[in-house]
Structure 1
Amino acid sequence: MKKNWKSLFWKMPNSNARFIANGWQISTLVVMLWVAPQLTHAQATDIGLWSGIGVEKKINKSLSVSLNAQTRLTDNLSILRAYLGELGVGYKLGKHWEVTGYYRYIGRRKKNADGSGYEYRSYNRFYADLAYDHKLWKLKFDYRLRYQNQFQDDDQAAENNSSYVRNKFELSYPNKTRFTPYISTDLFYEIGGSFDQMRNKAGVEMKINKHHKLELSGFTDYRLIGKQENRFLIGLSYKIKL
């Protein structure tokens, strides 16, 4: 009897199977995007939006280059807090390991020296990643170790602004649908200081076709030191692989 029941289950019509899969995906997306981030930041008084586009080009089986651009809105999407562009090179070390290096230019909104208004100041960031991924049952585990060093351009002189080591842990659920949900935590350690920030994120990647993806996420930056910003951030990015 058990055998017959299993046979009926696995031979469900494709339309029903798709319906169940889609229903599960929608439920997962709602829970992950809205419930999980707000558990850590339940009553946000400010909503921000980080939106961008990224293009990646494979040179060969191991080597790739990428170009990304992003804008960051704050004050309930009314003010451009920052804009950035970056160029990177990645190299696969094997099936599970990859190293990447990036240069990022940032224009960030800051108060004038006399406090009379705001201006966009230039920052230059260099960072390198060592990434590892591994399949855990039906889930995928990703770990990323990042070193980043940032310089502020002030009166035509570059001054070291901050240096960090970051550890990011991510679990995703690859499946046969177009949607891949995930959750992640990113820990920030300031060199010469201590752990001062944690970024909790939940999101979903939607595969449009072989070369195009759309990613939607919700996340919060939790300050481990200093005053906590009561802000919820939405991430929206478009990815192209050539």
Structure 2
Amino acid sequence: MKKIVNIKPFCLFILLLSVVFPMNINAQTSNSKNLNAWSTVSIEYKLNKKWSFELAEQLRLKENLSLVDEYFTELQTEYSVNKNFSLSAGARFIRQNDTEGNIQGYENHFRFQFDASYKHKINDFKLDYRLRYQNKNDLSVSVADGDYANQHLRFKTDVEYNIKNWKLDPQFSAEIFNHFEKGEDGGFDKYRLTFGTDYDMKKYGKISLYYRFEKELNVDLPETTNIIGLSYKYTIKNK
């Protein structure tokens, strides 16, 4: 008897293309300089089953990869309350390239965030929900000069499908951003959809590849952005 070929990976790939391709075409027609690239290198230290720490460096390119958008260093710690629920906090120092207006150049920004995450499994699906409070500030402008913290509440849902005998399990996430800042109207200002996968090289670390679609909300001419991302993480476990 002939062996039956598992067609799940192929079907999932076709489904992914059917969603991503129309979004990509729509984004290209609305904005000719909308392709960004994010690359990340990070190292994680697992102190024990409860505590872990991570240091990351990221570079972001914009305008069809022709300009640096920003680069930053981020330090984050996570505490696992139990196998499903965790709390984390992080801080990020950002060098942001301002290419608009009369005054252009690199600016120093500082951002911190607090996360609450819950994860569980349903059959072959892994689901992860994250609620984040985020606070970002321009260090070169004071409150007296009219600078107030740019704050967001973000809710993200992540789904991963486990395919038997397949190392590149597909992942999908959707995230909504709610903006609030003194002196400005608040509300939902953008959403983000991400499709990707990762490859675990065991003791050599993990590589992740993804495509991300981002679109502004509640504006007359919403900007759309296509993002391709590549990241590498190396994990050290305390023995």
* Mapped contact 1:62–1:93 kept (Cα < 8 A): yes
Q: Does 1:122 align with 2:108?
A: yes
State which of 136, 158, 166 in structure 2 corresponds to 1:177: 166
State the AA in 1 paired with 2:174. Answer: T
Deviates more, 1:229-238 or 1:193-202: 229-238
Distance 1:132 1:211, change over 3 A: farther
Q: Does 1:147 align with 2:133?
A: yes
User: 1:26 Cα deviation (Å)?
Assistant: 5.7
State the AA in 2 paired with 1:137. Answer: N
Q: Does 1:96 align with 2:50?
A: no
State which of 7, 32, 47 in structure 2 corresponds to 1:59: 47
User: 1:184 Cα deviation (Å)?
Assistant: 0.7
Gap regions ≥5 residues in structure 1: 1-7
Q: Does 1:215 align with 2:208?
A: yes
2-side partners of 1:62 and 1:73: how far apart? 35
Distance 1:228 1:78, change over 3 A: same
The structure with more radius of gyration? 1
2-side partners of 1:123 and 1:29: how far apart? 39
* Mapped contact 2:215–2:225 kept (Cα < 8 A): no
State the AA in 1 paired with 2:105. Answer: E
User: 1:168 Cα deviation (Å)?
Assistant: 0.1
RMSD: 2.3
Gap regions ≥5 residues in structure 2: none
Deviates more, 1:46-55 or 1:206-215: 206-215
2-side partners of 1:215 and 1:25: how far apart? 17
State which of 61, 67, 78 in structure 1 corresponds to 2:66: 78
> What is the TM-score of this pair, normalised by structure 1?
0.83
1-side partners of 2:71 and 2:125: how far apart? 34
Q: Percent identity?
A: 27
1-side partners of 2:9 and 2:206: how far apart? 17
- Deviation track 1:179-220 (CA, whole Å, cap 9, x = no partner) reads 121111010011361111100111111112245111111111
**Alignment partner, residue 28 of structure 1:** 12
1-side partners of 2:138 and 2:11: how far apart? 44
- Deviation track 1:143-196 (CA, whole Å, cap 9, x = no partner) reads 0000011111125x4743311110001111134432121111010011361111
How many equivalent pairs are there? 222
Deviates more, 1:52-61 or 1:158-167: 158-167
User: 1:231 Cα deviation (Å)?
Assistant: 2.7
* Mapped contact 2:216–2:224 kept (Cα < 8 A): no
Q: Does 1:232 align with 2:226?
A: yes
2-side partners of 1:103 and 1:181: how far apart? 29
Distance 1:106 1:27, change over 3 A: farther
